[in-house]
Structure 1
Amino acid sequence: MRIQVTRSGGILGAERRSVLDTEGRPDAPHIHALAREALGSCARTPDFGVPDGFHYAISVDDRSPGHCSDPKLTDSQKSLIALVMAQGQ
């Protein structure tokens, strides 16, 4: 599974993108479950939360992205975003 997170917005409005490939990872089943849960709570169209907040587009294996934004992130969205941004490329 290839998970891509794109973060935009914030005070500077800069975009940051990170991709995590779960192939061969021992924690892949956990990440897959987390991704399914996170995407299940995403909107299908961009969701612009609060001014200067971050907006996220999450996609799996080049499918259409799900959208979410601060401060309305679910726990699974927060966890997935943090994981992909920290360990992805």
Structure 2
Amino acid sequence: MRIHVVRTGGFAGIERRAEVDTSGRPDEEEWEALALLALRPGPASHPGDRVRDGFSYRITVDGRTVTCHDPHLSEAQRQLVSRVLKEGA
């Protein structure tokens, strides 16, 4: 499974990308379970609810994509983004 994360926004507006291929990893099942949960929509947000200079995320898992924005990420989305940006850099 390929997991790709793009983070945009923030104060500086710098884009950051990272990708993890879970195939053959000893923790592959853990990554896949988290990724499938992260594809579910996060908490409902309204245009006025976005945080000024907050981050936006595009999470793509094997061709399926979800977009989410601070602070409206589910716990699974937050965990997956953090892990991918850390390990896939």
CA distance in 2, matches of 1:33, 1:9: 27
CA distance in 2, matches of 1:86, 1:41: 23
- Counterpart amino acid of residue 87 in structure 1: E
Deviation digits for residues 36-80 of structure 1 (CA, Å, limit 9, x no counterpart): 1111125xxxx882220000000012x142101111111101110
Structure 1, unpaired ranges of 5+: none
CA distance in 2, matches of 1:71, 1:6: 16
Larger radius of gyration: 2
Matched with 2:56 is 55
Aligned residue pairs total 85
Matched with 1:71 is 71
1:14 Cα offset (Å): 0.7
CA distance in 2, matches of 1:9, 1:87: 21
Q: CA RMSD in A?
A: 1.9
CA distance in 2, matches of 1:79, 1:6: 14
Structure 1 runs (4+) greater than 6 angstroms displaced = none
Matched with 1:3 is 3
